[in-house]
Chain A
Amino acid sequence: MITVKNLYHQFELGKKGNKTTLPVLEDISFRIQEKEIVAIKGRSGSGKSTLLNLISGFIRPTQGEIWINGTNVTELNETDFAEFRLQYIGFIFQNFQLIPSMTAFQNIELPLILKGTPASARQKIVEETLEKVGLQNHKEHYPSELSGGQQQRVSIARALVLNPPLILADEPTGSLDSETEENLLHFIEQLNRDLGITFLIITHDEQVARIGNRTIEIADGSLLEGSDSREI
Chain B
Amino acid sequence: MKFKDQYQFVSQNIKKNKIRVFMTVLATAIGCAFLIVLASVGFGLHDSILKETMEDRAVTEVQVHGRETDGNYQPLTDEDIDFFESLEGVKAVTRNKQLYQTPTYKLEDYQAQSNTLVSHFPSEVKAGLELSEGRLPEKENEVIVGYNFRSNLLLSDVNQEELYNDQDEPKDKYLYQDSLIGKVMDMEVIQINDNQEETKSISLKIVGVTEKPGREWEEDRSVYISNSVLKEVEEFTGTARGMVDSPGGEQQGPELEIGAYDQVTIYATSIETVKQVSEQLETENYASYSVISEMEQINILFTIMKAGLILIGTIAVLIASIGIYNTMTMAVTERAPDIGIMKAIGAKPKIIKRIFVLESSLIGLAGAVIGTIVAYVISFAVNIGLPLIIESAFNEELPPGLKFSMIPWTLVLIAVGICLVVTILSGLRPAKRATQIDVLKAMRREV
Contact = CB atoms under 8 A, between A and B. Distances in A.
Contacts of B439: 58
A18 interface: no
Interface in A87-113: 87, 89, 91, 93, 95, 97-99, 101, 110-111, 113
Contacts of A79: 348-350
Given A79-B350, A101-B12, A114 B440 contact: no
Given A59-B440, A97-B341, A116 B346 contact: no
A89 B346 CA distance: 9
B218 interface: no
B43 to A, nearest CB: 45
Interface string B289-305: 00000000000000000
B346 A86 contact: yes
A91 B344 contact: yes
Nearest to A80: B348
Nearest to A99: B338
A89 B345 CA distance: 8
Contacts of B348: 79, 82-83
Nearest to B352: A82
B106 interface: no
Nearest to A82: B348
B249 to A, nearest CB: 101
Contact of A82 (B5, B346, B440): B346
B1 A116 contact: yes
| Overall SS of chain B's interface | helix
Interface residues of A, number: 29
A27 to B, nearest CB: 23
Nearest to B344: A91
A101 B348 CA distance: 21
Contacts of B309: none
Interface residues of B, number: 23
A126 to B, nearest CB: 14
A58 B346 CA distance: 11
Contacts of B351: 114
A158 B443 CA distance: 16
Contacts of B16: 101
A158 B345 contact: yes
A78 B345 contact: no
Q: Which of A56, A93, A99 has the most CB of B within 10 A?
A: A99
A146 to B, nearest CB: 16
B440 A58 contact: yes
B343 A82 contact: yes
Given A82-B349, A85-B346, A101-B16, A114 B1 contact: yes
Nearest to B343: A82
B440 A110 contact: no
B66 to A, nearest CB: 73
Given A58-B440, A93-B443, A101-B12, A113 B346 contact: no
Nearest to B9: A113
| Overall SS of chain A's interface | helix
Interface string B334-359: 00001011111111111100000000
B342 A78 contact: no
B139 interface: no
A116 B16 CA distance: 24
Given A101-B16, A116-B2, A110 B345 contact: yes
B58 to A, nearest CB: 64
Contacts of B345: 85-86, 91, 110-111, 114, 158
A183 B344 CA distance: 26
A10 interface: no
B422 to A, nearest CB: 28
A53 interface: yes
Given A101-B16, A113-B1, A114-B1, A83 B341 contact: no
Contacts of A111: 345-346
Interface in B1-23: 1-2, 4-5, 9, 12, 16
B356 to A, nearest CB: 15
A101 B338 contact: yes
Interface in B405-447: 439-440, 443
A78 B340 CA distance: 13
A93 B12 CA distance: 25
A44 to B, nearest CB: 15
**Considering the complex of A and B, which 7 residue pairs feature the smallest CB-CB distances, nearest first?**
A86-B346, A85-B346, A82-B348, A58-B439, A113-B5, A99-B338, A79-B348
Interface of A: 53, 56, 58-59, 78-79, 82-87, 89, 91, 93, 95, 97-99, 101, 110-111, 113-116, 118-119, 158
19 contacts: A56-B344, A78-B349, A79-B348, A82-B347, A82-B348, A83-B348, A85-B346, A86-B346, A91-B345, A93-B443, A97-B443, A98-B341, A101-B12, A110-B345, A114-B342, A114-B345, A114-B351, A116-B1, A118-B2
Interface of B: 1-2, 4-5, 9, 12, 16, 338, 340-351, 439-440, 443
Given A58-B440, A93-B443, A113-B2, 6 more contacts: A82-B349, A86-B346, A91-B344, A110-B342, A113-B9, A119-B5
